[in-house]
Structure 1
Amino acid sequence: MLDIALLPGKYAVCRLAAGSALPPELSGGLSDGDVVTVSWTADGISLICPADRAPEQAVGETAWRCLRVAEPLDLAVSGTLAALVDPLAAARVSVVAFSTYDTDYLLVPAVRLREATAALERAGHRVLG
């Protein structure tokens, strides 16, 4: 069983053109609990951020809710994401997953949040917040 924290507000999944500069509104000044993640590839920049910080020039969707595994995870532990994604897949809830050094995050469509949390709770997890 995992404790899963529901972060406040909506999140955006965005794409910027390759070679774009990272907008200054994404670096620093995050509220407690907010998260921003950036991935650079030759094809472009993908970013996940609070919806109110999504760059205007980005292409993306801003109707996601963010769930975070509440306690830090040991990098040697396997199966954590599967334990979260599998019940969501069975409930046919779309997921965008990402990890930091400390823990794992899931984005689910805001309109499916109730179904997502119910699926996680049926799988034995506890959703907080």
Structure 2
Amino acid sequence: MLDIALLPGEYAVCRLAADSALPPDLSGGLSDGDVVTVSWTADGISLICPADRAPEQAVAETAWRCLRVVGPLDLAVSGTLAALVDPLAAARVSVVAFSTYDTDYLLVPAVRLREATAALERAGHRVVG
């Protein structure tokens, strides 16, 4: 069983051109519990952030809710994401997942949040927040 925290507010999944600069205010002033993650590839920049911080020049899909596995998790532990993604896939809930050094995160569509949390709870996890 995993404890999963529901972060406040909605999140955006964004795409920026590979040569874009990130807005300087993106990393500063995050509220407690907020998370921002950035991935660079030759094809572009992927950014996940609170929806109200999405860069204007980005292609953005908004209205996602963010779930954080209460951690920190041991990097040697395997199967954490599978234990979360499998019940969501069975419930046909779309997921965007990412990890940090300390824990794992899942984004689910805001309109499917109730179904997502119910599926996770049926799988034995506890959703708080």
CA deviations 1:47-101 (Å, max 9, x no partner) are 0000000001100111100000012100000000000000000000000000000
C-alpha distance in 1, partners of 2:33/2:27?
15
Q: TM-score, normalised by structure 1?
A: 0.99
| Partner Cα separation in structure 1 for residue 55 and residue 21 of structure 2 | 11
Supply the distance in 2 between the matched residues of 1:53 and 1:77 (Cα, whole angstroms). 33
Question: 1:69 & 1:95 partners in 2: Cα distance?
Answer: 14
CA–CA distance in 1 between the matches of 2:77 and 2:113? 27
Question: CA shift at 1:107, angstroms?
Answer: 0.1
- Out of 113-122 and 18-27, give the one that drifted further: 18-27
Shift of 1:102: 0.1
Counterpart in 1 of 2:61?
61
In structure 2, distance between residues paired with 1:119 and 1:45 = 31
Tell me, what secondary structure is at the counterpart of 1:88?
A: helix
Ranges in structure 1 where 5+ consecutive residues have no aligned partner = none
CA RMSD of aligned residues (A): 0.5
User: Deviation at 1:27?
Assistant: 1.7
**In 2: Cα distance, 1:15 partner to 1:42 partner:** 12
Give CA-to-partner distance per residue, 1:15-48, whole Å, 9 cap, x none.
0001100111212210000000000000000000
Q: Take 1:115 and 1:57, find their aligned partners in 2: how far apart are those partners?
A: 32
Cα distance in 1 for partners of 2:77, 2:28 equals 30
Q: Which runs of 5 or more structure 2 residues have no equivalent in the other structure? A: none
Distance across 2 between alignment mates of 1:71 and 1:43: 32
Secondary structure of the structure 1 residue equivalent to 2:120: helix
Inter-partner Cα distance in structure 1 for 2:62 and 2:29: 20
Query: In 2, distance between residues paired with 1:17 and 1:11?
Result: 20
Runs of 4+ aligned residues of structure 1 deviating over 2 Å after TM superposition are none
Residue in 1 aligned with 2:3?
A: 3
Indicate the SS of the match to 1:28.
Answer: coil
| SS of residue paired to 1:83 | helix
Q: May I ask how many residue pairs the two structures share in their alignment?
A: 129
After the TM superposition, which of the residue ranges 20-29 and 83-92 deviates more from structure 2? 20-29
